[in-house]
Amino acid sequence: MVDRHQLRDAPERRAVAAASFELRSSGGSLMLTGYASVFEKPYEVLGGPPLGWTETVDSRAFDVTLAARPDLHLLINHEGMPLARTKSGTLKLATDSTGLHVEASLDPSDPDVQRLMPKMERKDMDEMSFAFRVKDDEWSDDYAQRRLLEVSLHKGDVSVVNFGANPATGVQLNGAADALDYLAGLDMEQGLAELRSGNQVDMERLTRARDNVLTLYRSMTPQSTTRRLTVAEARALEANEADSPVRLAPHIPAHSTPVTGDALDCRAAAEAAPEDQLVLRYMHAHVDPQGDPGSRVSYRFPHHEARIGAPASMPAVRVALAGLADSDLSEEQRAAAEAHLRRHLADAD
C-alpha cells in the first residue's frame, strides 16, 4: 500500500482521455493540441479505495508552476527523446475552464514524430498524461479522497500515452471527414450503455452535433419542399412561422433520450413548462395540429420534465400509453404518439 504521507513532492504521473486531442498540419510543422489534465473530474488512483484513492485536480493547481515558466518536455509514454520543449518555445501550456491545455509544434521529419503520426491518425493513441510533483494537497479523513491544490511541472513532462486514468473527457475530432469516420465506426450498443450508466451528457453539445450532421446531409442532397426544422431554424422562425416555407411536423416524431425509472408529476411538469414550442415538443408525445404550438394547452401526454435533455420517465411513458386507447385522437395521431412513447421503452430496454 502507498504511504500517502510520503507523496508530497514525490514524482507522480496521471493520465486522461484527452479532450480536443488532435494532430493537424500547420505550415511546415504539425500542431498537437489536447488536455494533459482535467479540472474537477474525479478519477481513481491505484484502483480507488481501499488500496488507492479518488483524486480531483483543483482549477488553481497549475497557477504557481505556470507563472514560474517551468521547463518540461513532450514525450511518448513518459520516455525517449523529446518531441517538443517549453524552453525552446515548441511546447506551450496554459489553463482554461477545462484543464491543462497543451499545444506543441512538431517536426514532421523527426523519426519519433513519424512513429507517432499513424498511431494518432488511427486513434490507437488518443490520450495524454503529465508528470508532476505535488506541493500542496488535502485528504479526506479516511484518506479515500485527495484533492491536488498545487503541483509543480518543472523538469516533468506531458506525454502522449496508450491509456488514460481519467475517463472524464473524450476525443473531439478535427474536420468533418474525421468526424463522419468516427460516427460510422461508433459502436451504438456501447454508446447507449454509456448513456444509460448515468454519465453526465452535455445535451447542448449533443443537439449541436445533431444539427451539424443534418446540415452536412442537406448540403449534399436535393432540398425537398418540406423538411423538419433544426433547433436553430426553429428558434429563428418561431416568431414568424406563418410566413416561413418551413413547417414543424404535424406530430411529434419519436426520439431517443436518456430514461429514468423515477415517477413524474405530469400535471406539475406541464404547468411548469415554458410557452416554448421546442421545450413543449420535447416533453410531450402529442401536439394538437390545429392548436397554438406555443401554448401548453395544445400538448398532451407529458413524460419529460420541462427542459430539453431531461430523461423520459418510464412510469409516465406507461401511463401515457395506457391513456392513448381511451383518447379522442385520430388513428393516425394515436399511432404517431404511440411510436413516440414506444421509442422510449426501447431506450429503456
Each of the 349 residues of the chain gets a pLDDT tens digit; together they read 455 556 677 777 777 665 556 777 766 678 888 888 889 988 888 777 877 889 999 999 999 999 999 999 999 888 889 999 999 999 999 998 888 999 999 988 888 888 888 888 777 787 888 888 999 999 998 888 999 999 999 998 998 887 654 444 333 334 455 455 555 555 555 555 555 544 444 455 555 565 556 555 555 544 444 445 555 555 554 544 444 444 455 688 888 888 899 999 999 998 989 888 888 988 999 999 888 888 999 999 999 999 888 899 999 999 999 898 888 999 889 989 998 999 898 888 7
* 15 and 162 belong to one structural domain: yes
Q: Which residues contact 54 (CB under 8 A, 6 or more apart)?
A: 42, 43, 44, 45, 48, 144, 145, 146
Q: How many structural domains comprise the chain?
A: 2
Of the residues 163, 183, 203, the one at which a domain ends: 183
- The pTM for the full model equals 0.47
Of the residues 129, 160, 183, the one at which a domain ends: 183
Its domain, for residue 95, covers: 4-183
* 130 and 265 belong to one structural domain: no
The answer to whether the CB of 268 falls within 8 A of the CB of 278 is no
* Set of cell numbers at residue 349: 430496454
Compute the 3-state secondary structure of the chain and give helix, strand, coil in percent, each to the nearest 5: 35, 30, 40
